[in-house]
Amino acid sequence: MTNPLQSPDAGSEQAKELWQQCLSILKESVPPLSFKTWFEPVKALRIDNDHLVLAIPSQFFYDWLDEHYSEILRTTILTVCGPGWKITYNIPSDDDHTVFLKESESTKEEPAEPAALPASLQSATPPPLVDPFTPRFLIRMNGNTNALPRDLNPRYTFANFVKGESNQLAHAAAMAVANNPGGTTFNPLVLYGGSGLGKTHLVHAVGNQAFVSGKARRIAYVTSERFTTEFIESIQRDKTSEFSYYYRSVDLLIVDDIQFFAGKDKTQDSFFHTFNALYQLGKQIVLTSDVPPKDLEGLDERLISRFQSGLTADIQAPDLETRLAILQKKCEEHNARLSGEVVQYLASAVTKNIRELEGCLVRLIAHTSLTARPITVDLAREIVHLVVKDVSTPLTIDQIQCVVCRYYDIPEEQLRSKTRKKEIVIARQIAMYLSKEMTNSSLKTIGMFFGGRDHSTVIHSYQTVEDLSKKDSSMHHALEDLKRKLSALRT
């Protein structure tokens, strides 16, 4: 007898109409990025009795929806379809020719007494429970391949990663790899940069994108420390062959913080052979480090040579515009409203670490929600001094303009005017030079503060002042004097 859930044509048009109505409600109820990431890819297949059958890309997708959106999905389906309706998911398994049919946990009613397993679930095999401390190579040997991608943080996606000049190449390369793992010349892809700049976010986004899209079935994300620990444990348990098989059978291997392989010779040897095996099979390798591969110390030269054979992309500290964009996106995610003055202060005060920037925002929101104290620049300043080490009040371009104009005894509006008087031009060039030297503002932003001039004018002014300071002692002394005055404004 044919299972009615296997009939592809039953109620397909009605299912699409009902799901569109559900989407209209969901779109108003969840953040835009979440809607685009987790609901747009879901497709309605058919209706079976009071079940709306939805097709989703993967087990990972199912877990995320059921954990984070179960209640809103339950409410939505009942609103659109009425009492008694439920959602059933069509989930691909590792075998391309098999699907699991799983009823959402959110739509199950508590039975008064034990009930028989619904027909829609009889073909599904729930994954075994996983001890979080069990080495992943042993989980794989036990057959639980669905547990593999859960090391990826689903919050880290390309959709909520803010692009800027500081990470443009890294972002573009990561996107290319995620969309075609193993099929580009970017293998391995090595992302490097200081702590808290977004390396981990990007590599998790690579894994999430590749998995959700089905471009990579088996994905392993691991820190170098965890790789080392599991390698040692495989020796202790006499499971080295299982360890090797696990890491050499993945489609995408992501290793965070490879600099911590330094000094661990046997681990390096194991990773070298793992790297070679994956590379020869055309599998994708993504690595992160705090320095470029050529500067890694304590690593075998043959490993460094492998790391340099693909693409190396750096992530630098974000410029002011990128920091502002990050704060605006985070405010949307937290449904928080901050004044432009507060956002500007945070973006100007926390310049070197995105993680600290986000931490300041979260702490600020939490503080004001618990104490009912309004969010002001003064409160933001208190939070920043608690979170960020050695923080100083950042200089602004306005302050630089004010100090330069006082020094040369000219009106501030003259710096933004079109006048070409020599004394005004020199003061304007000096102010632009100092703005580039003493703030994190981009060339475009600096130009906007000087009457909307373009970035080429700023570059020309900077170079002119730098050249003059080397030849003209009076210019050199003026710059030093101005820098001292400006530095005194920092607290």
CATH number, domain at 56?
3.30.300.180
Q: pLDDT of 241-276, one tens digit each?
A: 888 888 888 899 999 999 989 889 999 999 999 999
Q: pLDDT of 333-388, one tens digit each?
A: 777 788 878 888 888 778 778 888 888 888 888 877 777 778 888 888 888 877 77
Q: What is the pLDDT of residue 180?
A: 92
Sign of CA dihedral 271, 272, 277, 282: positive
Instruction: For residue 68, give the nearest of 134, 184, 167, 153 by alpha carbon.
Output: 153
Instruction: For residue 164, give the nearest of 361, 349, 320 by alpha carbon.
Output: 320
Please give the helix or strand (H or E) that residue 477 lies within, else none: helix 473-487
Inside any domain, residue 481: yes
Is the same domain home to 222 and 306?
A: yes
Inside any domain, residue 114: no
The tokens for 391 are 């923080």
- The CATH number of the domain holding residue 160 is 3.40.50.300
**Amino acid making up residue 59:** Q
Q: What is the pLDDT of residue 337?
A: 81
Is the same domain home to 187 and 49?
A: no
- The CATH number of the domain holding residue 346 is 1.10.8.60
Residue 59 scores a pLDDT above 80: no
Other CB atoms within 10 A of residue 163 CB:
16
Q: For the chain, first and last CA: distance in Å?
A: 79
Phi, psi of 86 (to 5 degrees): -140, 165
Angle between helix 340-349 and helix 354-371 axes, rounded to 10 deg: 140
Is the same domain home to 289 and 163?
A: yes
Inside any domain, residue 25: yes
Mean of pLDDT values over 47-58: 83
Q: What is the pLDDT of residue 389?
A: 60
Residue with tokens 């397909």: 12
Question: From its phi and psi, is residue 322 left (phi > 0), alpha (psi between -120 and 50) or beta?
Answer: alpha
Q: What is the pLDDT of residue 434?
A: 92
Q: pLDDT of 96-118, one tens digit each?
A: 433 445 555 444 433 333 333 33
Within 13 A of 474's CA, how many CA atoms are on the CB side? 1
Question: What gap in Å lies between CA 427 and CA 44, rounded to an integer?
Answer: 65
Is the same domain home to 157 and 212?
A: yes
Q: Which of 74, 107, 140 is the last residue of a domain?
A: 107
Question: What gap in Å lies between CA 431 and CA 409, rounded to an integer?
Answer: 13
Instruction: Please tell me whether residue 286 adopts helix, strand or coil conformation.
Output: strand
**Residues ≥6 apart with Cβ < 8 Å to 7:** 46, 48
> When comparing pLDDT for 127 and 453, which is higher?
453
Q: Which of 281, 315, 349 is the last residue of a domain?
A: 315
Q: pLDDT of 6-43, one tens digit each?
A: 444 446 788 888 888 888 888 877 777 778 878 888 88
Is the same domain home to 272 and 336?
A: no
Inside any domain, residue 93: yes
Q: What is the pLDDT of residue 391?
A: 53
Mean of pLDDT values over 171-183: 92
Question: What gap in Å lies between CA 119 and CA 134, rounded to an integer?
Answer: 33
Question: What gap in Å lies between CA 418 and CA 208, rounded to an integer?
Answer: 51
In sequence order, the β-bridge partners of residue 51 are 48, 86
Is the same domain home to 382 and 296?
A: no
Is the same domain home to 182 and 264?
A: yes
Q: Which of 269, 289, 315 is the last residue of a domain?
A: 315
Give me the numbers of helices (H) and strands (E) for the chain, helices first please: 20, 9
Alpha carbon separation from 64 to 32, 153, 259 (Å, rounded): 17, 11, 32
CA angle at residue 269 from 265 to 275, to 5 degrees? Answer: 135
Is the same domain home to 261 and 365?
A: no
Percent residues over pLDDT 90 in the chain: 21
Instruction: Please tell me whether residue 219 adopts helix, strand or coil conformation.
Output: strand
Is the same domain home to 303 and 353?
A: no
- The CATH number of the domain holding residue 439 is 1.10.1750.10
Is the same domain home to 311 and 325?
A: no
Is the same domain home to 230 and 158?
A: yes
Question: What gap in Å lies between CA 178 and CA 370, rounded to an integer?
Answer: 41
Inside any domain, residue 46: yes
Is the same domain home to 60 and 24?
A: yes
Other CB atoms within 10 A of residue 263 CB:
10
Inside any domain, residue 13: yes
**Residues ≥6 apart with Cβ < 8 Å to 396:** 348, 439
Q: What is the pLDDT of residue 216?
A: 87
Inside any domain, residue 123: no
> When comparing pLDDT for 131 and 104, which is higher?
104
Mean of pLDDT values over 384-395: 66
Question: What gap in Å lies between CA 441 and CA 391, rounded to an integer?
Answer: 18
Mean of pLDDT values over 153-170: 85
Phi, psi of 369 (to 5 degrees): -75, -30
Alpha carbon separation from 85 to 100, 273, 307, 423 (Å, rounded): 20, 53, 53, 78
Q: What is the pLDDT of residue 372?
A: 76
Question: What gap in Å lies between CA 49 and CA 10, rounded to an integer?
Answer: 10
Classify residue 435 as exposed, middle or buried by CB count within 10 Å of its CB (0-12, 13-18, 19+).
buried
Inside any domain, residue 133: no
The number of residues making up the chain comes to: 491
**Residues ≥6 apart with Cβ < 8 Å to 356:** 196, 350, 387, 388
> When comparing pLDDT for 344 and 4, which is higher?
344
The tokens for 80 are 């659109």
Q: Which domain holds residue 357?
A: 320-387
Tally of domains within the chain: 4
Can you spell out the DSSP letters for 75-131? HHHHHHH-TT-EEEEEEE-SSTT-EEEEE-GGG----SS--PPPGGGTT--PPPP--
